[in-house]
Amino acid sequence: MATTWRAPGRVNLIGEHVDYNDGLCLPFALPLATQATVRQQRGDDVVVRSSGRSETFPVSCDPGDVDGWARYVAGIVWAVRRLREDLPGLEIEVTSDVPVGAGLSSSAALECAVAGALAEEVGVELAPHELASLAHRAENDFVGVPSGPMDQLAAVFGDAGHAVLLDCRDLSTRRVPFDPAAEGLQVLVVNTHAEHELSSSAYAERRRQCEQARDLLGLRSLRDATVENIGSLDDHLLRARTHHVVTEIARVVDVVKVLDAGRPQDIGGYLTASHVSLRDDFEVSCDELDVTVDAALSAGALGARMTGGGFGGCAIALVRDADVDAVTDEVGRAYADRGWNVPTIFAARPSPGAHSVR
């Protein structure tokens, strides 16, 4: 007997680097997903297999015991063991078409697929929020990535035809209508293939800077900051970081209003403003992302921005159906002119979240 779950990657439409500041985010789940099959076996080991690779570690693993990609799976085993101490030996088979290191949350897709399948297989009941919380705890406390809760919540609560408004303070969610195809639009995802590593020192540094600004302002989190009180920060770098967080949360609120009103074609300016803020105030963009955004806009995209943690990975562009070829060609030409590797470009549509595969 075995249990299989499928969990998607995600694109964050807007609301970047605000999840760990108790902010608002608006991701949607991708059709690209990770599938995990879990079966019990004799012994005290966990055997994980994926794409011809195999790793073995003890069920009783602790943080620091497992390295490499398998540590994400080990983190889930560790977290589930806190709910059921007598876990048996396990075999876990993983397949995925979510690109790794592209800023599309391949790690959360892996965590949520394994968590759903493992919990069901061993009889641990998890409500959706509990599943997302368990996966997030595994990434923070076992793997050691200081990420916010957005990725796991997006993987669990994704829904076809909708983005998901996430309030990262109280972890509440709301479906927001977003069906680009119905309006003659496409969200193009451009994988720059530039290096992307969320556990890098730069990502952790941005989080520390936000925490420092929060403390100097005497706030519970930067969610409570305003444009008016940013000026009380003496450090120009902390002012810039805080300015991004404050204005990005406001952009999420505005985009949700526009989508609720049924006007997805009107969100492009907010997407571009988000990229400018991430590039200039938060400094998490890179040449490949900036060139992608500029090329897409010059070819007719309604809006474009980097998505994900930054320092590489992917950008998105909101494009009318009639302009898809022009945008795709212009981005490819811009890369060729600079001697860069050819980017991978695909259209993304809001898709279902984590679920059992029967």
Residues annotated catalytic, as ranges? 151
- H helix or E strand, kind and range, residue 189: strand 185-191
Unique residue bearing structure tokens 């590593």: 197
Q: Which two tokens stand for residue 71?
A: 């540590």
- For residue 281, the 8-state DSSP code is T
- Is the distance from CB of 147 to CB of 140 less than 8 angstroms? yes
- Report yes or no: 248 and 274 within 8 Å, Cβ to Cβ: yes
C-alpha closest to that of 140 among 169, 115, 111: 111
* Strand-pair category, 162-167 with 185-191: unpaired
C-alpha to C-alpha distance for 21 and 304, rounded to whole angstroms: 23
Range list of β-strands (E), 20-88: 24-41, 45-50, 53-58
CA distances from residue 30 to 34, 39, 231, 272, 352 in whole angstroms, order as listed: 11, 27, 39, 21, 8
Judge whether 279 and 73 are in contact, CB under 8 Å.
no
Secondary structure of residue 348 in the 3-state scheme: strand
Residue 66 β-bridge partners: none
Phi, psi of 202 (to 5 degrees): -65, -40
Under DSSP, the state recorded for 13 is E
Q: Are the C-beta atoms of residues 156 and 353 closer than 8 Å to each other? A: yes
What angle do helix axes 128-137 and 70-81 make, rounded to 10 degrees?
A: 120
